[in-house]
Structures are given as C-alpha cells and as structure tokens.
Amino acid sequence: MGVKLTQQNEDIKGKPLVSVIIPTFNSSSAIDTCIKSVISQTHDNTEIIVVDSGSVDDTKNIVRKYEKVKFFNIGSERSRTYARNYGVKNAKGKYLIFLDSDIELSPKVIEECIEKTRENFEVVTFPEAIVGEGFWAACRALEAKCYLGDDLIEAPRFFSRHTFNEVGGFDENMTAGEDWDLRERVLQRGYKIARIKAMTMHHEGKVNPIMRIKKKYDYGRTLDKYMGKYKGNTRKQIPLLRSCYYRNRRILIKDPAHTIGFFLLKMLETLATGLGLIRNKFGNNTHLNKESYV
C-alpha cells in the first residue's frame, strides 16, 4: 500500500512540508491532472496522499505510477469527510491542503499559501475557475466568476495542522456543507482567513444538467445537519438569488445567453435541493452520500 516517501516532517531549505490530501472514488478521468499540478508547484516540499473509497475504475493504477504518492484504500461506503480526516492521520506535513480529484492547481498556489503563513495566517482560501466543454460548462464557469471573493460560498482549503486539529477537523456526521462547517468553526476560534491570487481550475468536463440536478437532490437529503447549525448562513448560501449575483451583474449582463442558462440550471438545482430536504424530513432517509469526488 503506497510507495516510498523521500520527505520528512521538516523544512527543506526553509520550505515547510505541505501534505496534499485528495479523496477519490472512480476518479480516473481527472486524478492524473490533479497530481501533476501538485508535483509542478514552485513550493516543492510536498507529500501527496490519495484516499480512495473503493474505486472500480483505473484510479488506483494511475495513482500508483507516482512514487511521491501515498495511496490508501479505505473501502466502500465511506464519506468524503471520513476520507479527508483519514488522510490527515497519515500525513506528516506542518500544513494541509484538501483537494477534490478534479482540481488543478496553478504553479504558485502552495507558494502563495506559505507566504500567507509568514503574515501569521493559519487558514487560506484560493480562487477557483470552472473549466469544461459545451454550453452548460460555460454557464457553470460564469456562475463561478460570481463567487470569487465571496466568503459565504468559497471555503478554505489550506490549513495549518495545528489549527485543523484545534477545531476538530471535518465533522464526519456531515456529508454536505462540511467545508462551510469547518470554516465557521475556524472563525469561531478567532482565526482570520487569508486569500491568495493564484487560481485553481475545477475540471467539470461536459456538464450534464440531469446529473447536476440529481446531485443537488442527493445534497439536499444530507444538508439538514449543516442547516441546523447555521440557519443564518443558509438563508444566504442556499437560495436561488444570492447577493453575489447582483454584485456581479455587469459580468452577467455581458453574457445574456449563458446567464439565462445559468439561472435556469440554478433554479432546477435549487428545486432539487428543496425536494431532497423534504424527502429527508418526511421520508425514511436511508440514503448515504456516496460521491464520485470528481
């Protein structure tokens, strides 16, 4: 299981070790790009930890091509929150980064995060662009532009190990909204969250509206725990008409076709999330959130 590591939990020429944790499930279409982007970082003192939830595609074979990667198979029926915490338990780094397997980092992401730690920040958010093919992917890309700089929507991905442990890590009772929950607990402890400029790219391929709607329905069926803890936030995060759309109205006006498609898709997603919440509240919810992680 896994392969040999060449780095220890110490600085190399003043560069602290950063553990990059990537949960996977049937991620063969994206994981190679993700890993290569980590290896290509200008901050080169990193370890990569892939935590797989029983993939049946070629994910394991792709990951094991890389000597730098520690690979763990935790078996099926494990949530992403469990996989992330499991990765931390097997990490050696002073700092932690949590990526989805379809995320590609631009070369200076980790370097800029480390620069923020020298300004006494323990937690960092980095911006994300949507990359994909076709009309619906362009609609999603337009939506993502509206979220840039929005503290209620974007969640931090970089943490010092000390801070992560102090706030208790990811809540494994949550399978939706867990990123937002962790951010709220960080803020409650009095930590400030920094931002960097280096971009990340979220590769969504050819967006299938039906699959997006189904995913949001499943999301709604597991969102109740987050909503119960943060009722004030959810009124701003979940509704169709978020304030960030109004702030970015000039961007939307310049691209009417994709704006219409984006709002149509968002309307259907919001409806699906609501139906999932209703099903969870009044039905016998035996659903387990099994995500593809891509």
- Give 224-234 pLDDT, tens digit per residue: 787 778 766 66
User: If you compute the radius of gyration of the chain from its CA atoms, what whole number of angstroms results?
Assistant: 19
Q: Is residue 4 included in any domain, yes or no?
A: no
pLDDT at 219: 84
Is residue 87 a part of any domain in this protein? yes
Which pLDDT value is given to residue 143?
94
CA–CA separation, 185 and 174 (whole Å): 14
At 4 the pLDDT is 33
The band of 289, judged by pLDDT with boundaries at 50, 70 and 90, is very low
Q: pLDDT tier at 68 (50, 70, 90 boundaries)? A: confident
List the one residue out of 127, 193, 196 whose CA is nearest residue 160.
Answer: 193
7 assigned to some structural domain: no
Angle between helices 209-220 and 256-282 (to 10 degrees): 40
**Residue 181 · residue 229 · CB < 8 Å:** yes
Whether the predicted pLDDT of 6 surpasses 80? no
CA atoms of 176 and 221, how far apart (whole Å) = 9
- Residue 262: give the domain boundaries: 18-282
Find the range with the poorest average confidence among 113-117, 170-174, 289-293: 289-293
Inside any domain, residue 11 = no
The predicted model gives 170-185 an average pLDDT of: 90
- Tokens of residue 7, six digits: 């780095």
pLDDT-derived band at 133 (thresholds 50, 70, 90) equals very high
Please choose, from the candidates 187, 202, 168, the residue with its C-alpha nearest in 3D space to the C-alpha of residue 81: 168
Other Cβ atoms less than 10 A from the Cβ of 202: the count is 18
According to the model, what pLDDT value does residue 123 have? 97
How far, in whole angstroms, is CA 265 from its chain's centroid?
21
Look at residue 2 and tell me if it is in a domain. Answer: no
Residue 33 lies in a domain: yes
pLDDT surpasses 70 at 235: no
Q: Which residues on adjacent β-strands are paired with residue 16?
A: none
What pLDDT, on the 0 to 100 scale, is given for residue 92?
95
In this prediction, residue 232 carries a pLDDT of 63
| φ/ψ of residue 128, rounded to 5 | -135, 135
Neighbours of 132 (CB within 10 A): 19
Residue 140, domain CATH: 3.90.550.10
- Higher-confidence residue: 243 or 262? 262
Q: Is the pLDDT of residue 104 over 60?
A: yes
**Per-residue pLDDT reduced to its tens digit, 205-223:** 999 999 999 999 988 888 8
Confidence of residue 287 (pLDDT cuts 50, 70, 90): very low
Structural domain total, the chain: 1
Domain annotation covers residue 5: no
The DSSP result for the chain, as a single string, is: --------SS-BTTB--EEEEEEESS-TTTHHHHHHHHHT-SS--EEEEEEES---SSHHHHHTT-TTEEEEE--SS--HHHHHHHHHHT---SEEEE--TTEEE-TTHHHHHHHHHTTT--EEE--EEEEEESHHHHHHHHHHHHHTT-TTT----EEEHHHHHHTTSS-TT-SSSHHHHHHHHHHHTT--EEE----EEEEEEE--HHHHHHHHHHHHTT-HHHHHH-HHHHHHHSSSS-HHHHHTHHHHHT-HHHHHHHHHHHHHHHHHHHHHHHHHHHS-----------
Cβ–Cβ under 8 Å, residues 30 and 105? no
pLDDT at 290: 47
Answer yes or no: is pLDDT of 152 > 90.
no
Is the separation of the CB atoms in 148 and 127 below 8 Å?
yes
Q: Which amino acid type is present at position 130?
A: I
pLDDT digits (tens, 9 = 90+) for 7-62: 445 677 679 999 999 999 999 999 999 999 999 999 999 999 999 999 999 999 99
- Whether residue 9 lies inside any domain: the answer is no
Query: Are β-strands 95-98 and 158-160 bridged in parallel, bridged antiparallel, or unpaired?
Result: antiparallel
CA triplet 227, 232, 235: central angle to 5 degrees?
75
Report the mean per-residue pLDDT for the chain.
88
Q: What is the pTM of this model?
A: 0.87
Quote the pLDDT of residue 233.
Answer: 62
Q: What is the predicted pLDDT for the residue at 225? A: 81
Q: Please report, rounded to a whole number, the percentage of residues in the chain having pLDDT higher than 90.
A: 72
Distance CA 254, CA 93 (A): 44
Q: Which pLDDT does position 22 carry in this prediction?
A: 97
Q: Is the pLDDT of residue 173 over 90?
A: no
Q: How far apart are CA 21 and CA 100, in angstroms?
A: 9
Higher pLDDT: 199 or 293? It is 199
